[in-house]
Structure 1
């Protein structure tokens, strides 16, 4: 095995969805939850928010791992409607309000990805944008979906990989980006750091 593909991947996220997605690539990885500050100035663009927070998360984990032959992967996802960033809901009422403004309209999902190669410290940062169109929803449908508890910790108050799939009419762009980790983008970034995803299959 070459030196690049012997590198450990460390996912700087406690998200079970990102962990599940990364496992689809057949890569050996560890999960280390980042405790990075996720606050951002209100004037930042969506691109700057996701790219900066993805890097901030990766850097926080890299600080404790800089003696290892590893690639740290950080990621951040936000939902944007008419330029307004919609974060994770604070409660059920917030989920209802978010779904009410999203229903029947199109919005954008931004996910930033940052990779830090250690010990050399090479940094790669990129992002993807996917447009999601949600079908028109009745108040009863919104209430029933909120009652499932699924929206609780999701940006935009829905999970496209779960029951939230029934709310989505169509998407334009990468599906995995909406879930929280654009795999094609990540694969290309890992390749730049010497980890060839397809070469590892069957090892």
Structure 2
């Protein structure tokens, strides 16, 4: 089960041979970050957000008794680390345009926190967390290109105001790391987390789960 409303994450998992159910978490992300305090690293921040999202969905599943047998809940959170700042979704056109003007021609690290929780007969049987980091080299779109991109609405609801697998791909010159992590969920890292919980990823292909 995917604890995320992200269509990009769902698309990655489906393309990788699974058909996860989706249950969107109701976590107050600002409250989670505030609880971490000013000393938290960028990696800590995305990892704890992913953990909070997964646990929120798990608590509702366990309370409702909705998933008998074995199941896995995966929570993720992505943010861009650039110039010492951790950048999330811009939400507004003005913020998205300003971010693109600031980061064009620069390099940043897209961090994606992951949390996998194993349920067995309605109870939590294990949890594993990790963070994927991929370095991105941004192109230098013109002001007109930035305005046109922002006007599409695509960058408003994605971490760092860009996508790799959409229109934003025109303005990404290169990446060093896992491309699936940039899209929203790292397949290699998720496999490692599932393996640590005793879940065979190949079984998810055949089960479609």
Q: So what's the TM-score if we normalise by structure 2?
A: 0.87
Q: For this pair of structures, how many residues does the alignment match?
A: 194
Q: Distance in 1 between matches of 2:19 and 2:8?
A: 16
Partner residue of 1:36 out of 17, 24, 27: 27
Matching of residue 22 in structure 1 with residue 13 in structure 2 = yes
- From 154, 158, 165, the counterpart of 1:161: 165
Query: Residue 193 of structure 2 is aligned with which of 176, 189, 193?
Result: 189
Counterpart pick for 1:57 among 53, 56, 66: 53
> Higher mean Cα deviation, 39-48 or 151-160?
39-48
Q: Is the 8 A contact 2:127 2:197 kept in 1?
A: no
Q: What is the CA–CA distance in structure 1 between the aligned matches of 2:178 and 2:55, rounded to whole Å?
A: 26
**What residue number does 1:90 align with?**
91
In the alignment, which residue of structure 2 is the partner of 1:139?
143
- Return the alpha-carbon distance in structure 1 between the equivalents of residues 75 and 181 of structure 2: 14
- Counterpart CA distance in 2 for 1:28 and 1:138 is 40
- Residue segments in structure 1 that go unaligned for 5+ positions in a row: 1-9
Which of these residues, 107, 126, 129, is aligned with residue 133 of structure 2? Answer: 129
Q: Please give the secondary structure, in 2, of the residue aligned with 1:29.
A: coil
Q: 1:28 to 1:141 in 2, by over 3 A?
A: closer
Q: Does 1:76 align with 2:72?
A: no
CA contact (8 A) 1:76 1:112 kept: yes
Runs of at least 5 residues in structure 2 that lack an aligned partner in the other structure: none
- Provide the rounded CA distance (Å) in 2 between the counterparts of 1:19 and 1:95: 24
Cα distance, 1:199 vs structure 2: 4.4
Structure 2 CA distance for partners of 1:189 and 1:95, relative to 1, 3 Å: same
Shift >3 Å, 4+ stretches: 199-203
Question: What is the deviation of 1:192?
Answer: 2.2
- TM-score normalised by structure 1 residue count: 0.90
Instruction: Confirm or deny: 8 A CA contact 1:79 1:110 kept in the other structure.
Output: yes
Aligned-residue CA RMSD (Å): 1.5
1:134–1:184 CA distance, 2 compared to 1 (3 A)? same
